[in-house]
Structure 1
Amino acid sequence: MKKRARAYIISLLIGVAASLLFIFVQLPYYVTMPGTAQKLEPLVHVDQGDEDQGSFMLTTVRMGRANIAYYLLAHIRPYYELYPLQEIKQEGETDEEYTLRQLHLMKESKESAIVVAYKHAHKPVSYRPNGVYVMSLVDGMPAAHILHVGDRIVRVGGKEIGTAEQLIQYVRQKKKGDSVSITWERNGKEKTASIALAPFPQEPKQIGLGISPMTDYHITTQPSVRVDSEKIGGPSAGLMFSLEIYNQLVDEDITKGYKIAGTGTINMNGEVGPIGGISQKIVAADQAGADIFFAPNEKGAKNSNYREAVKTAKKIGTKMKIVPVDTFSDALRYLQELK
């Protein structure tokens, strides 16, 4: 009996240890899978905006570090994908820096969505540059030892800097060995340092600070608008945010009672850009019962998001209508022509 009990305890411990290994041991991969399709109306608040019968939905992809269990699932479950770490995170980027970069990309996308929606609704909107965010840092470059992801650069060479383009133009006028005085904000405090320019490790003929900049805009609208996107990262919700904001600004209901999902980045010119995980977002939208899905057309490119979305829609047998869009106007025109 004692031997049997000992064998049982040993086998139990082995089973527990194996389970822990499956769950807690992280592999050098990220795993992605279909996420959710979330209604945007609760996240977008236009002052005195009207309610509508249909809905616009934000589609997401779930992503996290792969353990052994998810690694195995990705080889047998459809629409589970594995990506090496270097394809998701930039070289030398920490988890915190990656999260900050995604949140700043969402902020940029949200700002563009507001401007596009207000312009098309013929409502007052103005915006001015308010400094330059550090989106990422090149490992080994001088700035990587001084600046942090999320810092907001406000002055260069003692002069106020407004846009990322202005910063790039200023640096281009310098030569190897020059130093640039940078003033930035971090946690509400200003700091200044002299940063040397150096060749990029991958492109030795080009010199720079070693940062990826993004313009921070201050936007003023009438009526006021608030978009609650603090927990959403990345730029892929831009198109759908712009449609929801527009729909709350105008008298008519452009959803016409349909459940409308979609994805795509958007810039201040209203141009829609491609995103990752389009197949997984099609699955998420179908599971949520969407009637229509807007997909970036990429001007008809052979491997566009739209073409991949159509293939996935056929595979899963959805009745959801896949609509190609290159601009906000394309999506708006389609909705206006709906019965």
Structure 2
Amino acid sequence: MRNKRKGVIRAFVIGIILALALSYIKLPFYITKPGNASELEPIIKVEGGYDSKGSFSLTTVSIGRASIFGYLFAQADQYAEILPMNQVKAPEESDEEYLNRQLKLMEGSQESALILAYKTAGKSVKSEFNGVYVNSVIKEMPAAKVLKPGDRVYEADGKQLKSSEEFVSYVSGKKEGDSVTVSYERNGSRKNANLKIAAFPSDMTSGGKKAGIGVTLMTDREVTVTPKIELDTEDIGGPSAGLMMTLEIFDQLTEKDFTKGYKIAGTGTIAEDGKVGPIGGISQKIVAADQSGADLFFAPNEGGRKGSNYQEAVKTAKDIDTSMKIVPVDEFSDAITYLEKLKAK
């Protein structure tokens, strides 16, 4: 009997150790899930800004390293996505470097939102441009042979750059096998380099074939606006809140209530010229917005291309049987035009 009791205790202890191992041993994957829809009014305050009856909200995706348990559960979760590490972080990028990169992307998005919202509202905005800097390079890609973090890139095929978004937009118009001449500065010395457009490694793309030179850039500029504004966005990373931040700032700057009393969520990068760009995790953001009770959701239309963020958002909305209206946008002006025609709630 005593030996049997010892055997039960031993099995119990081994079971606990295995459970802990399955929970804490990390796999070379990240798992993303629906996050939250957070109202922007509490974190964006325009001095003397106007109040609204409704709200604009950014949407987030929850992300974390996969444990064995987490990996198995994610396999059965329709709205959980398992991503190889290379699709989330650059090779050899530390957690701290990744976080810093995300915060820098948010900073650039915030600046674009400020410039666009204040200009559209006819308010004073000044931008002092200090350059477009290399944030990171991918070893397997053409840029790694020439560019280094800290280099200032100022031209692409002779076209002067005023933001990292301009560079990305220009290069994305090329296809694999094309080339781009990049003019850059390092330690005060200016140089030119002709780089081929190459396909990204397959383990770095979550769907479809993508090409580029393998570099992430950061716009360095100082934006001054009147009236003053306070933005508490230190804990938000990435560029995907750009569109919704622009809408919130513009709404506070104008007497007209563009929310019309609705709870409005959405996502999409924003460029200084008003172009709305695609983001990752659109399905998860639709789920998050629906769970928050949003009435409508702005989704990047990507010019109506097949498999766009908007098309994926519509499919997810149908799958979860939400009454939330999905609205396609290519430009900031598309969102404003839609809201102007929307009947007040």
Q: TM-score when scaled to structure 2?
A: 0.80
- Structure 2 residue 240 is the aligned partner of structure 1 residue 242: no
Measure, in 2, the Cα distance between the counterparts of 1:101 and 1:297: 26
**Match among 265, 274, 297 for residue 269 of structure 2:** 265
**Match among 227, 230, 236 for residue 234 of structure 2:** 230
Residues 326, 211 of structure 1: alpha-carbon distance in 2 compared, 3 angstrom cutoff = closer
Residue pair 2:183, 2:193 contacting (<8 A) in 1 also: no
For 1:4, the aligned partner's letter is: K
Residues 299, 154 of structure 1: alpha-carbon distance in 2 compared, 3 angstrom cutoff = closer
Structure 1 vs Structure 2 CA RMSD: 3.1
Residue pair 1:106, 1:233 contacting (<8 A) in 2 also: yes
For 1:222, the aligned partner's letter is: T
Residues 133, 228 of structure 1: alpha-carbon distance in 2 compared, 3 angstrom cutoff = farther
Residues 216, 53 of structure 1: alpha-carbon distance in 2 compared, 3 angstrom cutoff = same
Residue pair 1:286, 1:318 contacting (<8 A) in 2 also: yes
Residue pair 2:183, 2:190 contacting (<8 A) in 1 also: no
What is the aligned partner in structure 2 of residue 182 from structure 1? Answer: 187
What is the aligned partner in structure 2 of residue 17 from structure 1? Answer: 17
What is the aligned partner in structure 1 of residue 106 from structure 2? Answer: 106
CA deviations over 1:32-68 (Å, ceiling 9, x no partner): 1100000110110111112211010110000111111
Residue pair 2:269, 2:278 contacting (<8 A) in 1 also: yes
Residues 210, 267 of structure 1: alpha-carbon distance in 2 compared, 3 angstrom cutoff = closer
1:270-289 mapped onto 2 (5 Å cutoff): 270-289=274-293
Measure, in 2, the Cα distance between the counterparts of 1:198 and 1:269: 27
Shift of 1:195: 11
Shift of 1:217: 1.4
Measure, in 1, the Cα distance between the counterparts of 2:327 and 2:214: 39
**Match among 278, 295, 301 for residue 291 of structure 1:** 295
What is the aligned partner in structure 1 of residue 68 from structure 2? Answer: 68
Moved more, 92-101 or 301-310: 92-101
Structure 2 gaps of 5+ residues are 155-160, 172-180, 200-212
Residues 299, 49 of structure 1: alpha-carbon distance in 2 compared, 3 angstrom cutoff = same
For this pair of structures, how many residues does the alignment match? 308
Measure, in 1, the Cα distance between the counterparts of 2:119 and 2:5: 75
Structure 1 gaps of 5+ residues are 156-160, 175-179, 184-192, 204-208
Measure, in 2, the Cα distance between the counterparts of 1:3 and 1:92: 51
For 1:263, the aligned partner's letter is: T
What is the aligned partner in structure 1 of residue 304 from structure 2? Answer: 300
Residues 5, 39 of structure 1: alpha-carbon distance in 2 compared, 3 angstrom cutoff = same
Residue pair 1:182, 1:195 contacting (<8 A) in 2 also: no
Residues 294, 80 of structure 1: alpha-carbon distance in 2 compared, 3 angstrom cutoff = same
Shift of 1:287: 0.3
Residue pair 1:200, 1:210 contacting (<8 A) in 2 also: no
Measure, in 2, the Cα distance between the counterparts of 1:172 and 1:273: 23
